[in-house]
Chain A
Amino acid sequence: MTAYEVVTPRAVSPLIEGLQGKRAGYREVYEKLQRDPCGHDVGAYRLSGPLEPKVCGVHLRRGYRLAFTMQSPEDEGEPPRVVVLYVGKREPRSRELDVWTVLHDLFGVENPPDDHFKPHCCETDVPDIADAELGAFLKELRGPRLRPKRRRKSPRTGK
């Protein structure tokens, strides 16, 4: 049974599609999020630092991570929503590629150092994000960061 609508920014869709063949277990986590993002079988945990009130993380397989937040229904009869904010690989050695660094950059906040407590995502309350903040995040996603990079032509070969 699906109780939650699981959505993602249009700019993040290609990242999800890019998980095909990676055996990262996205499909399984997606189905669990549809049922109950707070369920213990999802294993979602709260991020530490400035994103703590609004973002939870989930470990996918093979080093991939998924970040999500939640939205209450706007009207009667609508399902609550899970918003998959980002998916990517944990790359602690690469600031450019690390999923958590990218996520914090998109929110315009500092990624705190390690030693995170990782409490259960819904231990005290569900993650919650203001519409304006989500709007700013979506706007940032449309920026150059997620646009496909053009390769520069080599001055020697011209290719």
Chain B
Amino acid sequence: MSSIPAKNVRKARSIIALRRTARRDGAVRAELDPVIAELREDLDETMSKTQAAELIGISVPTLDKWVGRRIVPVRKAPSGRPRIPRDTALDLAERVGDLRDRGQKRNLIVGVADTLQREDATYQREFHELYGPGLAALAEGDLVSAAPPESFGTED
């Protein structure tokens, strides 16, 4: 049995559904845009990796891989936890959903990220802010896994 998605994820899914409807039907777009904007403002500017992964429909390890490959930008919370920008998560979820609807199941992110980096101004801005000169400083303060290296002996 799957668990009930968190409130933020449910709200984000509603936004994506409305955005897709607005794209399909130009006649309702003008009516839907303010509703979408209002719902979007209700969400925090960032979300946890767990929420973002759930929204996009991927596992947290897969999202970690995308973050590690600098495909998905992250912001650092004061607690040191990585947070995914809301708009990035929404864009990715929407585009990945489109590809899945068209039957694509593999290599979703490569095509999506490529398109977003070329076409989407918000995505480009987030990348510039997060992966520009401030990247080293951002990464330096991160908390990382405390797992012992593989080379540790049983008594180490």
Contacts and interface: CB of A to CB of B under 8 A. Distances in A.
Contacts of B145: 6-8
Contacts of A16: 146, 148
A115 interface: no
B62 interface: no
Contacts of B154: 27
Interface string B1-43: 0010010100000000000000000000000000000000000
Contacts of B47: 75
A76 interface: yes
B140 to A, nearest CB: 6
Contacts, number: 101
A26 B154 CA distance: 9
B131 to A, nearest CB: 18
B51 to A, nearest CB: 6
B156 A21 contact: yes
B100 interface: no
Interface string A59-96: 00100000000010011111001111000000000000
The bracket for how many chain B residues form the interface is: 20 to 34
A131 to B, nearest CB: 4
Contacts of A77: 3, 6, 50-51, 54
B132 interface: no
Contacts of A30: 146-148
Interface of B: 3, 6, 8, 47-48, 50-51, 54, 77-81, 139-149, 151-156
Interface of A: 6-10, 12-13, 16-17, 19-27, 30, 61, 71, 74-78, 81-84, 131-132, 134-135, 138-139, 142
9 contacts: A6-B147, A16-B146, A27-B152, A27-B156, A30-B148, A75-B47, A83-B80, A131-B78, A138-B80
